[in-house]
Structure 1
């Protein structure tokens, strides 16, 4: 927590001073002494006020003073607020290895399902674009709020060809480019199951993404036992490459995930949706402390008048 006017915190010094003055006043002997021969009898029948009635009103008063002093200092708290102009590019691998069925019903089908859930869960203000790639980027959509078009394009994707991850990331970066000096927050979500086979080096593109403050979140989809059928009916192993994906994420300032099944992939997208859709922002919370101070002050006045017949 921070304060816009921290000098007012000096008002908190009133609290210990007031407490000290109260203690001294209670220790001071009575100024006038009245002789009363039946003092013991009077003490036995007189009503006794417990420590709570004696100490609660001044305690509430001290709390009221502290709350008001903090409110005047205009405290700020860091909270997560929706990002209305944020953009995210979904970069989806459509190479032939995405036909593997180690993730049911297939890697690509599971990726589509999870991406659709991602589109449904993130804030409506978030702009979403799409890059689909195999030997190179073959589908590029700039960020938009037209979710229907993105979903339709995503669901029509087919898996075939090689893997050019670097070229796809470069296309995503270009789609996020803007001439606005106050560029809105942006991120890239890369979902792939293997190492790049052609095109630009993904690590070099990740460095450019970091310089542009665009983190890349990577998801390595599949299991080490994943296979696809070759031209002659032979099974070809297509294990994912989480190490290469993690390198891209770390260089860019993002985070790497592994999702070996469709359920885990859904959780990954839910996490990404909550992170990309909000940002940390300082908000003034003076009203809360002022309300607390007023309530404590009202409580001190009420209990003192009720129990002692005077204000504290």
Structure 2
């Protein structure tokens, strides 16, 4: 079966300089057209077409064109295969640093998510971290008016759980500063035996609008420059509320801001309005955090495609050569 070539139309090549062979294809096409015209002139000399038909047999023009077209397609596929095309494959990361940013602003006391937003957020973050490979470094940053590193990058899951469960509600929401603090936490991550820092990413859970600081634009640009994607979870329902000084205030999540942060940094933005949907959101993010795309050779797929085209071309040639009973 001919492989699905549509997603492979513009792959990378290990030896792209070999693609020069494709330049010969237009020459072959022009040569075929020239030969067809010359054959037409020679055939025109035989005025008795009935006799000519009995001698050479009947050949269908479309069969000849099909055989030639498939032959050219086979040559194209072989030329691409010779250049050693590369595809991508998702493989588990061996090392990484994940910074968990948990919103602890006063809006997290809303009870639209049982038992309340903060308690459910803690459990969701803990479950997510426990699913990560043991070799991953995990850091914890609190998101409020003055974001802080509550735990530097470490593989100690017990220490992370203690730091997470100790989070308390604080005033304010400084989303931009939380990103900056997260980048500072990443710098504290231990390097591997190769003296290189592992890839890093930030997972931010928030339910509110930025109320402190200049905003997220500058920090998001810094994260993008550092190649640190920020995955965001807009947490809570649109009808969530808290009582402040006897007045009820709506605390709907700022979906637009969190989505913008994710898009600007190369992360993913998801929404969660319940404990179950929060677990689903973490699972979706985990599929990106726990894996990376690596290049792999896909020469065999192109060679297989060339074989498929060649088989069709051979069948066309057989149909032209055979004398079918009338």
Structure 1 spans left out of the alignment, 5+ residues: none
Alpha-carbon distance between aligned partners in 2 of 1:295 and 1:30, rounded to the nearest angstrom: 33
Change in CA separation of 1:241 and 1:54 when aligned onto 2, cut-off 3 Å: closer
Shift of 1:17: 3.1
Alpha-carbon distance between aligned partners in 2 of 1:48 and 1:243, rounded to the nearest angstrom: 69
Greater mean deviation of Cα atoms: 19-28 or 276-285: 276-285
Structure 2 spans left out of the alignment, 5+ residues: 1-9
- TM-score norm. by structure 2 comes to 0.66
* 2:230 equivalent to 1:213: no
Alpha-carbon distance between aligned partners in 2 of 1:251 and 1:34, rounded to the nearest angstrom: 72
* 2:52 equivalent to 1:11: no
* 2:153 equivalent to 1:139: no
Please say which structure displays the higher CA radius of gyration.
Answer: 1
Q: Deviations over 1:64-119 (max 9, x none)?
A: 22222232344445x46346234321111234532211223421243245435645
Alpha-carbon distance between aligned partners in 2 of 1:57 and 1:219, rounded to the nearest angstrom: 55
Q: Deviations over 1:231-289 (max 9, x none)?
A: x9x56636256289549927973568574612554554344334444556555433322
Q: Deviations over 1:194-250 (max 9, x none)?
A: 45778x8775655654453323334342346534467x9x56636256289549927
Aligned to 1:100: 110
Change in CA separation of 1:172 and 1:83 when aligned onto 2, cut-off 3 Å: farther
- TM-score norm. by structure 1 comes to 0.68
Shift of 1:129: 1.5
Alpha-carbon distance between aligned partners in 1 of 2:136 and 2:130, rounded to the nearest angstrom: 12
Change in CA separation of 1:156 and 1:113 when aligned onto 2, cut-off 3 Å: closer
Aligned to 1:111: 121
Shift of 1:16: 0.6
Shift of 1:8: 2.2
The number of residues matched between the two structures is 299
Change in CA separation of 1:236 and 1:212 when aligned onto 2, cut-off 3 Å: same
* 2:251 equivalent to 1:249: no
Alpha-carbon distance between aligned partners in 2 of 1:83 and 1:304, rounded to the nearest angstrom: 48
Alpha-carbon distance between aligned partners in 2 of 1:276 and 1:247, rounded to the nearest angstrom: 17
* 2:204 equivalent to 1:190: yes
Aligned to 2:69: 59
Alpha-carbon distance between aligned partners in 1 of 2:320 and 2:153, rounded to the nearest angstrom: 70
* 2:235 equivalent to 1:226: no
Change in CA separation of 1:286 and 1:222 when aligned onto 2, cut-off 3 Å: same
Q: Deviations over 1:172-213 (max 9, x none)?
A: 323322576754432212212345778x87756556544533
